[in-house]
Amino acid sequence: EAQACALIRESVHLARQAREDYLAENPAAGPLLVAGSVGPYGAYLADGSEYRGDYQRSDDVFQEFHRPRIAALVEGGVDLLACETLPNFAEISALAELLTAYPRARAWFSLTLRDSEHLSDGTPLRDVVALLADYPQVVALGINCIALENTTAALQHLHSLTTLPLVVYPNSGEQYDAVSKTWHHHGEHCAQLADYLPQWQAAGARLIGGCCRTTPKDIAELNEQR
């Protein structure tokens, strides 16, 4: 555990150093933030639970799971926490409360969904937004690690529920075959992240990127079109 936490802190150091090196060469690049990933308990179960949210644990268990990583990231000097791929309402509640133990920390909360109006565990997004509204440390809200074609409707719904800046970083336009464990796309054209950029911006998205199977080229194309 000590070695793992040290590696997390070192990852923050490397990201901060990369930022310094880049800004030294590109002083007009503007503010660049280092975000530390705080993934879900469901991913630890390694059975796809991060896309279902069908696990039950107490607040204490959730908080003990997340605390060491959050502490290491905060100690390392991240600018904010990326509490991401979250499918479970009880976990979201426990994680938001845990943040209050680190009053200088700021975070975005990014969710996986059952559909455009419900968290993966079935909780209405309206309830998630209402909960997080009581935690001023949560500075943005959004979705990640979902299919590209499901993003716009979900962002539009979230935009109707909150004034927070929205976050979106879906998977690539490819489809995953669980049998062959390969990615592929249908037809001649595979949708790209940049194809959706105008829709996302119109729906209130301000932090935009990609999750599984996205590449530096995908991010560069988003940047060119912003």
Question: pLDDT per residue over 166-212, tens digit each?
Answer: 999 998 767 766 567 676 765 545 578 999 999 999 999 999 999 98
Question: pLDDT per residue over 11-36, tens digit each?
Answer: 999 999 999 999 999 999 888 999 99
Question: pLDDT per residue over 109-143, tens digit each?
Answer: 999 999 999 999 999 999 999 999 999 999 999 99
- What Cα–Cα distance (Å) separates residue 62 from each residue in 8, 147, 152, 189, 220? 19, 27, 30, 42, 36
Please state, for a pLDDT cut of 90, what percent of the chain lies above it. Answer: 82
Residue 98, SS3? helix
- Ramachandran angles phi, psi of 136, nearest 5°: -65, -15
Q: Mean pLDDT, to the nearest integer, of 48-62?
A: 95
For residue 67, pLDDT beyond 70: yes
* Mean pLDDT value across the chain: 93
pTM score of the predicted model: 0.92
